[in-house]
A and B are shown apart, each in its own frame.
Chain A
Amino acid sequence: MAIAAVPQPDLEVIAYEMPEQVTLLSDAWRRIRRNRLALVGLGIITVLFITALVSIVWTPYPVWLEAVGPTYQSPSPAHLLGLDQAGRDILSRIMGGALITAEVGVGSAIIVSLIGIPLGLVAGFYRGTADTIISFFINIWYGIPDLLVALILVFVLSDALHLIPRGVFVIIVAFSLTRWMDVARLVRGQALALREREFVEAARMSGARDFGLLLRHIFPNALGPIIVQATFAIPAAVLFEAFLSFLGLGLPSPTPSWGAMAADGYHGMDFAPHIVLAPTIALSLTLMAFNWVGDGLRDAFDPRMRR
């Protein structure tokens, strides 16, 4: 019996055009490039980080050095942003403040994510008791003025740990302990939705363990919203630090925190407004930049906006 020749599939015909493979990040980058506001934000953030790095090795004058010129002196070529009430060079202090701002913002975003992501994943993926406990915390917390709890926490932590000149560390920890719920709530929702999807089912069928499922399938698919949430944690933390230092509850006096500088300048505002203007404008620009980038990222990661 002759075996009929199996017709060879015509590869020319079957081959269809594969969509170009892009990673999540390169795809997002491609779309964020079209968003002018987000690009401006990215520019400002780049300047902020470069200034922060430069301030570690060089500032025009030491940030804490008093009486480099007459007190309350207005901006001049020698001191581009003028001098403050103790005769310190404001430009140098703004640069030092950029470092603190960058530390607080990035540090808080990292710690918030480190606490929130695992808890959210566990709550959404395993449901049951773990979810009940974690959700209880998240729900109780919803709508509580968490910045004010963080404020009390800064106070308690620095007293309990005997860190009497309060440091950036205490502020980051206090902020993170009261803000991880936002990330956890978001990740929980994502995990709840993703665990029912076919690709997770398929991975489970092919013998993936829970940890592998969470790490390789659920977490990467929730990455977009997580990045957005972490980005928005940065301006919140920066604002918190400024808010604390402005009230005199944050970093102690010679530290060049923008909030503390605003509080200093605020008292001499009627005759030397430049002291208060420099830090408040720097702060506002920074917050704006992070919010714009956050908005841009949210649009870029949003599948409904995908073209």
Chain B
Amino acid sequence: MRGTLSYIGQRLVLIAITTVLVSSIVFLLLHQIPGNAFLNETRQTPQSLAAELHHYGLDLPLPQQYTNWVRGVIRGDLGESLINRGVRITPLLIRETEVSATVGFFALLVTIGLGLILGVIAALRQNTWVDYVASSASVVGYSIPSFVIAIFGLLIFGHYLYIWTQGSFYYIPGWGKVEQIPVPALALGLPYAAYVARLTRASMLETIRTDYVRTAWAKGLRPPVVVLRHALRNALIPVVTILGPLVTGIITGSVVIENIFGIPGLGKEFITSILARDYNIVIGVFTFYAALVGLANLTVDVIYPILDPRIRY
């Protein structure tokens, strides 16, 4: 137990360092762009431009801007929006993370739930029509990008099934209704669900042929116990390893999904800010993403020894 705790502690420090490093790359990249966010503003006098630059510390030399920024990040302050003066970035992004995390959580649920169910059923019914349907669905599904699924989702649920849905997932102003979640979460989760299903099927096929599973059947255990406790638990190990990349994929996908469905989360903020050249927010969103991915990978590594007791920290 103490080993695990100190392991988590070490990892947290590492995550913090990686987060700062990765967002530093983005910081330095964005500061290479000539010009600045205020160039396109009308009614700009040289004095007001200078005052604006001074307000944001953009008139300082780059190394000094960078150290100021790193100091801010360590204190948890990501600075102020360049476009909407006075808007602090950290609280804004925390609010948006909650929205993104809700959608992301349900997407992950779709991915893992649907993926596992399809994979296990396909493996148990190997070479029957159930297997063929599930396998072909996953072989097709994992190549269809989430924004294409989102478009089809909108077309089906928003247009063809309008009488049933009443457009409830995109006509409600504001965010926070339950009806708004399922379609984006499905769009975000389905491609990865197909991938998880493929993986689960392959590893289930391996485990159900092992001796201990045969023993479990021979002992006369009930089928759900054999499948869930003996076979699936071991079959899950390779599946858990892809959870980290999965979260990264869902984060990347959420950028386009949130823009399609108008979900006020991090992804929408990311694109809006890039187009508006609000570089401070872009850097901030990226810092959040790096930290989220780090935390997700840590969670996976903590779950791992629960499934596979051979692994210890």
Kindly list chain A residues whose C-beta atoms are within 8 Å of the C-beta of B256.
243, 246-247
The reply on A18 being an interface residue by CB < 8 A is: no
- CB–CB B147/A243 < 8 A: yes
Q: Which of B19-27, B91-99, B101-109, B228-236 contacts A (4 or more CB under 8 A)?
A: B19-27
Task: Say which one of B119-127, B148-156, B303-311 lies at the interface with A.
Answer: B148-156
> Which A residues touch B30, using CB under 8 A?
152, 156
Give the complex CA separation of A227 and B29 in angstroms.
32
Q: Known contacts being A143-B248, A156-B32, is A148 close to B294, with CB within 8 Å?
A: no
CB-CB under 8 A from B22, the residues of chain A are 140, 144
Encoded as 1 (CB less than 8 Å from any B CB) or 0, chain A from 154 to 196 comes to: 0110011000000000000000000000000000000000000
Closest Cβ–Cβ distance, residue B51 to chain A (whole Å)? 25
A248's partner among B142, B255, B275 (CB-CB below 8 A) is B275
Task: Please tell me if the beta carbons of B151 and A140 are within 8 angstroms of each other in the complex.
Answer: no
A269 touching B248 by the CB < 8 A rule? no
Least Cβ distance of A124 to chain B in Å? 22
A145 near B271 with CB under 8 A, answer: no
Which one of A23-31, A86-94, A209-217, A282-290 is at the B interface?
Answer: A282-290
Let me know if A115 is at the binding interface, CB within 8 A. Answer: no
A155 to B29, CA, bound (A): 10
CB-CB nearest in chain B for A265: B151
B37 within 8 A of A: no
Residue-wise, chain B 8-26 has the 8 Å CB interface mask toward A (1 for contact) of 0000000000100110011
Interfacial chain A residues near B271, Cβ < 8 Å: 247, 249
Tell me if A262 counts as interface (CB < 8 A to partner B): yes
Does A219 count as interface, using CB distance less than 8 angstroms? Answer: no
Given A152-B282, A262-B148, A288-B140, check contact A145 B275 (CB 8 Å). no
A301 to chain B, nearest CB (A): 18
Tell me, yes or no, whether A231 is within 8 Å of chain B by CB: no
Which of B74-82, B218-226, B285-293 is the contact stretch?
A: B285-293
CA distance A149 to B289 in the complex (A): 11
In the complex, B169 has a CB within 8 A of chain A: no
Tell me the bound Cα distance from A269 to B32 in angstroms. Answer: 39
Contact B29 A243 (CB under 8 A): no
The yes or no answer to A270 lying at the interface (CB within 8 A) is yes
Q: Chain A residue with minimal CB distance to B290?
A: A144
Chain B residues with Cβ below 8 Å from A125 are: none
* B159 close to chain A: CB less than 8 A: yes
Q: How far in angstroms is the closest Cβ of chain A from B64? A: 21
B144 at the interface (CB under 8 A from A): yes
- Cα–Cα, bound, A151→B282 (Å): 11
Question: A147 at the A/B interface (Cβ < 8 Å)?
Answer: yes
Of the residues B21, B33, B245, B294, contact of A159 by C-beta under 8 Å? B33
Any B CB within 8 A of the CB of A235? yes
Residues from chain B with Cβ under 8 Å of A140 in the complex = 18, 21-22
Asked if A143 contacts B155 (CB within 8 A), the reply is no
Query: Quick check: A287 and B144 within 8 Å, CB to CB?
Result: yes
The reply to whether A152 and B159 contact each other, CB–CB distance below 8 Å, is no
* Complex Cα gap A276–B26 (Å): 33
Which residues on the A side are within 8 Å of B142 (C-beta)? 291
Contact between A145 and B274, CB atoms less than 8 A apart: no
Given contacts A152-B274, A159-B34, A242-B145, contact A144 B29 (CB under 8 A): no
Q: How far is the CB of B136 from chain A (nearest CB, A)?
A: 9
Q: Are B248 and A284 in contact (CB under 8 A)?
A: no
Say how far A153's CB is from chain B's closest CB, in angstroms.
7
B251-295 to A contact mask, C-beta < 8 Å, 1/0: 110011001100000000011001100000010001001100110
Contact of B151 among A155, A160, A269 (CB under 8 A): A269
Q: B113 on the interface (CB 8 Å rule)?
A: no
**Interface contact B33-A156, CB-CB below 8 Å:** yes
Q: A19-44: contact bitstring with B at CB < 8 Å (1 yes, 0 no)?
A: 00000000000000000010000000
Residue of B nearest to A287 (CB): B143
Q: A72 contacts the other chain (Cβ, under 8 Å)? A: no
CB of A216, distance to nearest CB on chain B (Å): 35
Min C-beta distance of B19 to chain A, whole Å: 10
Given A148-B289, A156-B29, A249-B271, A270 and B159 contact (CB-CB distance below 8 Å)? yes
In contact, B245 and A143 (Cβ under 8 angstroms)? yes
Shortest distance from the beta carbon of A185 to any chain B beta carbon, whole Å: 13
Q: Verify A143–B294 contact, CB threshold 8 A.
A: yes
Q: How far is the CA of A156 from the CA of B159 in the complex (A)?
A: 38
B207 at the A/B interface (Cβ < 8 Å)?
Answer: no
A49 at the interface (CB under 8 A from B): no
* CA A243 to CA B150, docked complex, whole Å: 13
Bound: A239/B149 CA distance, A:
14
Check B147 against A262 for contact (C-beta < 8 Å): yes
Q: Once the chains bind, are B290 and A37 in contact (CB under 8 Å)? A: no
- Chain A residues lying within 8 Å of B293, measured Cβ to Cβ, are 143-145
Interface string of B42-72 (1 = CB under 8 A from A): 0000000000000000000000000000000
Measured CB to CB, the residues of A under 8 A from B are 37, 140, 143-145, 147-149, 151-153, 155-156, 159-160, 235, 239, 242-243, 246-249, 262, 266, 269-270, 273, 276, 280, 283-284, 287-288, 291-292
Some 11 contacts from A to B, beta carbons below 8 A apart, are: A143-B244, A143-B245, A147-B252, A152-B30, A152-B282, A156-B33, A247-B255, A249-B274, A269-B159, A288-B144, A291-B142
Given contacts A266-B154, A288-B143, list 8 more A-B pairs with CB under 8 A. A144-B290, A148-B251, A149-B286, A152-B26, A152-B286, A155-B33, A246-B256, A287-B143
Ordered nearest first, which 5 A-B pairs have the shortest CB separation?
Answer: A288-B143, A287-B143, A280-B148, A159-B33, A284-B144
Residues of B within 8 A of A (CB): 18, 21-22, 25-26, 29-30, 32-35, 139-140, 142-145, 147-148, 151-152, 154-155, 158-159, 244-245, 248, 251-252, 255-256, 259-260, 270-271, 274-275, 282, 286, 289-290, 293-294, 296-297
